[in-house]
Amino acid sequence: MPLRETTTARATAAGAAPAPTGPRHASSGPGGGRFRALRGALVLAWPALAVYALVRITGTAFIAWRAGDDGPGLGKLFASRFDTVYYVHIADNGYEAPLAEGCAVQGELCTYAFFPAYPALIRGFSAVLPLPTGTVAWGISVAASLVAAWGIFAVAEQLIDRRTAVFAVALWGVVPHAVVQQLAYTESLFTAVSAWALYAVVRRHWLTAAALACLAGLTRPSGAAVVAAVVLCAAWALFTAVRKGTGGRTALAAAILIAPLGWFFWFARVGYRAGRWDGYFRLQERWGSTFDGGGFTADRIAEVFTKQPTHLNTVVATVTVLGALLLLLLCALDRQHAPLLIYSAFLLLIAAGGAGYFHSKARFLLPAFPLLFPLARALATARPRAAYTVLGAVVLLSSAYGGYLLLVWKYSP
């Protein structure tokens, strides 16, 4: 069944700027108007944010219970392991400082595999907060997860309806690797930037979308997905504007130029430091990550059905990748809004097309929230008792699997 569009979404598709969502208020000035608009948007989104907080608190409580009094504390589990070590090191010491224990195989440039936006935020907040750097990193991730939930709600509410948007946020909070949203990792920050960039594209706020795409390109290599969504949609809008002789062409051209700057800057920076144009790709090879178009992923999926034994994480990664492919097809059949389809398709291409780290494929797909919209709409239109029963069961499964990833699985989730 096609996704229903709201009046504002249809206005956007027709080329007109949609009316703001949320309650309208009289404004005594620009500052007061912006504050009232923000307050109205929060009032509209609060059920989604409350549900998201509830499901993530449930997952965290389950992990604390399973860890016990004599197990690793939540601080260690959430803010001092795996990739967090690199982000904290970069924030404290910069990229040039050696990290012998973590870079024994990857070489002296190994920290350059981690994009700079998150360490820069950690460094900035650490300068003003009397807290350990790892705690600051964790706090940024938790705050970003709430901003991401709000952004997901805003996109879904704009294009579908409020009830579906609430379920979309709830589902994002219980996807298999949802526990990563509370780790000191970049997934929450990246999802937040991506969601609001896509919202800006839907609302035709091209310069805002371009600025956020630029930031996404400084956050993760998969920022290319946000850049592609903004650039391709802006290019189509520019082509249409030129053909019809309408205005707004300067903003569209600027958006096309600004959106990829962050992504290209970091690749150029690493290339300059490595002394070769493909320095970043060479560095990724030393990390065991290359791009083969999906051959590695296909082989690992096949092994799940042909070889024994296998790990639970491998099975979940297989189900996630195959499920993402199916959901992308459903989104296309539902004629989901173009920037969302482009974004999800590029994320899936990057995640499934990469060779290496198969157990992390589900985490790499964590920001692909538009793929959840068909499921959210199904829950929104189901009988309440059935919808809440399904969601409650998934919350329990997600909490249990989050505990497995942090307490049983020995590698980065």
Q: Is the pLDDT of residue 299 over 90?
A: yes
Beta-carbon contacts of residue 86 (< 8 Å; ≥ 6 apart): 99, 102, 110, 111, 114
Among 29-43, 52-66, 267-281, 322-336, name the one with the lowest average pLDDT: 29-43
Res. 31 pLDDT band, cuts 50 70 90: low
Distance CA(161)–CA(340), nearest Å, equals 16
Amino acid at position 67, single letter: A
Among 87-101, 167-181, 235-249, 308-322, name the one with the lowest average pLDDT: 87-101
Give yes or no for a contact between 283 and 113, defined as CB atoms under 8 angstroms apart.
yes
261-277 confidence digits (pLDDT tens): 999 999 999 999 999 99
Average pLDDT of 183-198? 98
Q: Coil, strand, or helix at residue 110?
A: helix
Residue 215: the pLDDT is 98
Alpha helical stretches, state H, 245-358: 249-258, 261-274, 279-286, 295-306, 312-333, 338-353
Average pLDDT of 278-289? 92
Average pLDDT of 358-382? 97
Residue 241: the pLDDT is 95
Residue 97: the pLDDT is 86
Average pLDDT of 330-336? 96
Q: Is the pLDDT of residue 100 over 80?
A: no
Task: Tell which wins on pLDDT, 235 or 71.
Answer: 235
> Is the CA virtual torsion 219, 222, 223, 224 positive or negative?
positive
Q: Is the pLDDT of residue 10 over 70?
A: no
Residue 12 — left, alpha, or beta (φ > 0 → left; ψ -120 to 50 → alpha)? alpha
**What distance lies between CA 272 and its chain's CA centroid?**
28
Amino acid at position 380, single letter: A
Q: Given the structure tokens 């130029």, which residue do they identify?
A: 257
Beta-carbon contacts of residue 223 (< 8 Å; ≥ 6 apart): 115, 190, 213, 216, 217, 262, 263
Q: Is the pLDDT of residue 127 over 60?
A: yes
Interhelix angle 384-407/373-381, rounded to 10 degrees, is 140
Phi first, then psi, for residue 156 (nearest 5°) are -65, -40
> Is the CA virtual torsion 173, 179, 180, 182 positive or negative?
positive
Residue 102: the pLDDT is 66
379-394 confidence digits (pLDDT tens): 999 999 999 999 999 9
> Is the CA virtual torsion 150, 153, 158, 163 positive or negative?
negative
Which one, of 138, 101, 186, 112, lies nearest residue 360 by Cα? 186
192-226 confidence digits (pLDDT tens): 999 999 999 999 999 999 999 999 999 999 999 99
Res. 91 pLDDT band, cuts 50 70 90: very high
Phi first, then psi, for residue 205 (nearest 5°) are -95, 80
If you ran DSSP here, which 8-state letter would residue 377 be given?
A: H
Residue 333: the pLDDT is 96
Which one, of 302, 306, 282, 289, lies nearest residue 351 by Cα? 289
Residue 3: the pLDDT is 37
Q: Coil, strand, or helix at residue 144?
A: helix
Residue 42: the pLDDT is 86
Task: Tell which wins on pLDDT, 67 or 316.
Answer: 316
Residues listed for the chain: 413
Interhelix angle 206-217/261-274, rounded to 10 degrees, is 30
Interhelix angle 223-244/206-217, rounded to 10 degrees, is 150
What percentage of the chain reaches a pLDDT higher than 70? 91
Res. 5 pLDDT band, cuts 50 70 90: very low
Q: What is the pTM of this model?
A: 0.91
